[in-house]
Amino acid sequence: MSFEVPDDRKYSSEHEWVETTDGTARIGITDFAQDELGDVVFVELPDEGEELSQGEEFGVVESIKAVSDLYSPVNATVTAVNDALADQPELVNDDPFGEGWMLEVELAEDDGLDELLSAEEYREQIE
């Protein structure tokens, strides 16, 4: 099976993606992760202003098959949460790299981006 893996992002081995733009970033889970989870029915995310540390849990995704922790791919501070997911958690399944994004963050000086996987490296991991 082939999964979408956009080249303009970095990826964690825990299946989160990061798209960066001038010191800020958007975070979500990958197409592979949403497929493994099945139909997402609930998403729990942190509050704005919360500090995230790379590799630490920041939320939970609940599907009809499982409950899965979300892990921060970077060191950052939450600046926005995708409130649409409260009423439409299925956006994570329908559009994981677009409308199904989870957080917007301001990257810390030591953001940890260099430790993440490229799209090519992530593709190799999930094949």
Q: What is the pTM of this model?
A: 0.96
Q: What is the largest CA-CA distance in the chain?
A: 38
> What confidence score (pLDDT) does residue 22 get?
87
Of 31, 84, 93, 32, which Cα lies nearest the Cα of 62? 93
pLDDT for 80-98, tens place per residue?
999 999 999 999 999 999 9
Paired strand residues for 27: 18, 103
Residue 100, judged by CB atoms within 10 A of its CB (0-12, 13-18, 19+), counts as buried
pLDDT confidence bin for 23, thresholds 50/70/90:
confident
- CA-based end-to-end distance of the chain: 8
- Mean pLDDT score of the chain: 97
pLDDT for 40-69, tens place per residue?
999 999 999 999 999 999 999 999 999 999
